[in-house]
Amino acid sequence: MAYQLNRRRLMQGAGASLGAIALRGFVLAEEGAAHFTHGVASGDPLADRVILWTRVVPGAKQHQLLPVEWQVAKDREFNQVVAQGQTQSSAERDYTVKVDATGLKPNSQYFYRFTVDGRHSAIGRTRTLPVGDVASFRIGLASCSNYPQGYFNAYRHMAQSDIDLVLHLGDYIYEYPEGRYANPIALEELGRHVEPRGEILTLEDYRMRYGLYRTDVDLQLVHQQHPFVCVWDDHELTNNTWHSGAENHNDGEGDFFLRIRAARQAYDEWMPIRTHAEGDQGPIYRAFEIGNLADLIMLDTRLHGRDKGLEYAADMPLRSQAFEVSASGEAQAINDEAAQRLPADAVRRVRLPFDFSSGTAQAVLDYATIKDLDEASLPANWRYLPDLERFKAEVLNAPERNLLGSDQEQWLMKTLRRGQARGSTWQVLGQQVLMGRLFFPELSDEELQLDTLSEARASRLKAFQALAGQGLPFNLDAWDGYPVCRSRIQTMLNQFAANPVVLAGDTHNAWAFNLQDEQRNPIGVEIGTPGITSPGMESFLPVEPQVLANALMQSSPELAALDTQHRGWAEIELTPGAMRAQWHFVSSVLERDYSVSQSVPQICKAGARRFA
């Protein structure tokens, strides 16, 4: 596969000539009427239908419409065809093909294939959702599959496992340029380079990146073996996205909304997802009924209604002091209550420095000395300190901060009420980020190995240490950064859900939480899946894994179990009596010779709302 791109090749991909770029990494080994370039996939199953997907390009070197036949059968030999039809493949949809195969039977396994001019695609296997009473349903959870971090061994193990459905909770691709957020061994020895080489910004870029990922044999295999239900997280868009911006987008990269539109269109083209009635740009949140056993409710906690995320460095206010200032310029320190009673022009609030010369922090209250100071002009041994209480009260817990958006919240309430009315046992929320409360762990200099680190890295970890023990969230990008919104959702779950189960990706690590409300009443349970390849906490916290696990368990009362050092996937099994969760860890993402180990199962009995 060639990695050098230029404008001429890009124009070849877009013009009348098919061009190598339109193959999206597929190697054209022979002539033919057409070529199936990226395997097959199925997704968004219902009781009577399922989405079928493939990609097929013309065998000639010119762009053209291709008539495509599809079939669904009970048997792999296609002697018992139960549904069939015709569609077409064209450059307008990047030669991807998506059909909604209807008229199927509930809880049934099927085989499917596509045909162009007598040439067949690979044969895929899929299944429909059950209706009525269901004895058992098994779901595999995946997230954070970064191509230049290593092999997708976890996908291969999922493909070989007996599960009913794969739930991909986001970061199916990554948008970064060559060499950024990549493992050097994966690049230099395994050749897992990205295409295009630069950061993806345009529709053509996003299509190329999906095409690269879908050449991976393990990813093709898991799609071929199991139906998928997917939601995006940030990297299918760009890092730390919110409804109208992103951390990884700047003015030099063009219009943000055009970039997001391109990302969403490529996602719709390349993923086996049922296109929203409003078109490609419609909301991604949706729900599925698994008989009477469960409601699977997919949420968008990343883009649709998310307000901009908080950052401690940018959003933590510094300690300040109110002064009553007279017309002559004399000033007297006053408390906040007194300040509120005075006219605004009589009060000035200034940042309050602390003098550490004596070894303890002493507030400096001389107005004339401190009124014009800033970080650069502070005397030696003076420092500004964060105002933790003001941050919690005014910033973190601001009532207007939202993660879902009001329309998605209303949709969720209606969906939960509908499940309550029909009597489903489990309410499974498939979404991107952790809902459980996770606080900064307390770690010593020795545990963090500060004496072995660079000065810059040690300084960052010192700031990390300063936040420990203060009741502050470890990850502001998760539900912890939107606590008022979380409280509303948990109130909904208490009112309308019998047995809530929250599923999350994003962190690259394995988590199990006993969710609680503000009064510590049990809400339900949460399972976070480890990343397929993306590195976890071991990549930025130089702490022995068991030491880190113990510290996190001590700081975070909702936390029931975790693993911070392995890649893999999670599995949940739902039955009328219990939910059983287990992690599957691969021994390596840098070698093809790997083994798989399993965690101790986490079990939540129906009605318990917590792990046993």
d(C-alpha 65, C-alpha 57), whole Å = 9
pLDDT at 429 over 60: yes
- Choice between 253 and 282, residue whose per-residue pLDDT is larger: 253
Give the pLDDT confidence score for residue 12 in this predicted structure: 37
Indicate the DSSP class of residue 82.
Answer: E
Distances (CA, A) of 36 to 58, 86, 419: 9, 16, 40
What does the pLDDT look like over 161-190, one tens digit per residue?
A: 999 999 999 999 999 999 999 999 999 999
In this structure, the strands spanning 382-384 and 353-355 are antiparallel
d(C-alpha 223, C-alpha 124), whole Å = 8
Give the pLDDT confidence score for residue 421 in this predicted structure: 97
Tokens of 77: 């030999």
Give the pLDDT confidence score for residue 6 in this predicted structure: 37
At position 517, the amino acid (one-letter code) is: D
What does the pLDDT look like over 580-602, one tens digit per residue?
A: 999 999 999 999 999 999 999 99
Give the pLDDT confidence score for residue 10 in this predicted structure: 36
What does the pLDDT look like over 524-567, one tens digit per residue?
A: 999 999 999 999 998 889 999 999 999 999 999 999 999 999 99
Which of 258, 368, 259, 240 is closest to 307 using CA atoms? Answer: 240
Determine what percent of the chain is predicted with pLDDT higher than 70. Answer: 96
pLDDT at 3 over 80: no
Q: Find the mean pLDDT for residues 271-285.
A: 80
Which of 571, 573, 511, 579 is closest to 157 using CA atoms? Answer: 571
> For residue 356, how far is the Cα from the chain centroid?
42
d(C-alpha 392, C-alpha 472), whole Å = 8
Indicate the DSSP class of residue 610.
Answer: S
- Choice between 463 and 87, residue whose per-residue pLDDT is larger: 87
Which of helix, strand or coil describes residue 33? Answer: coil
- Phi, psi dihedrals of residue 411, rounded to the nearest 5°: -60, -40
Those residues with Cβ within 8 angstroms of residue 582's Cβ, 6 or more apart along the chain or in another chain: 570, 571, 572, 598, 599, 600, 601, 602
| Domains present along the chain, CATH in parentheses | 7-283 (2.60.40.380), 318-385 (no CATH)
Which of 320, 499, 482 is closest to 401 using CA atoms? Answer: 482
Q: Find the mean pLDDT for residues 418-440.
A: 97
Cα R_g (the chain), whole angstroms: 27
What does the pLDDT look like over 212-265, one tens digit per residue?
A: 999 999 999 999 999 999 999 999 999 999 999 999 999 999 999 999 999 999
Q: Which DSSP helix (H) or strand (E) runs through 221?
A: helix 217-225
Determine what percent of the chain is predicted with pLDDT higher than 90. Answer: 88
> For residue 464, how far is the Cα from the chain centroid?
24
pLDDT at 504 over 90: yes
Q: Are 513 and 434 spatial neighbours (Cβ–Cβ below 8 Å)?
A: yes
196: preceding bond cis by omega (within 30 degrees)? yes
- pTM beyond 0.85: yes
The HSE-up count of residue 74 (CA atoms within 13 Å, CB side) is 9
Q: Find the mean pLDDT for residues 452-463.
A: 88
What does the pLDDT look like over 328-345, one tens digit per residue?
A: 889 999 999 999 999 999
d(C-alpha 488, C-alpha 305), whole Å = 15
Which residue's structure tokens are 């083209």?
269
Give the pLDDT confidence score for residue 464 in this predicted structure: 87
d(C-alpha 421, C-alpha 520), whole Å = 27
d(C-alpha 248, C-alpha 176), whole Å = 9
pLDDT at 27 over 90: no
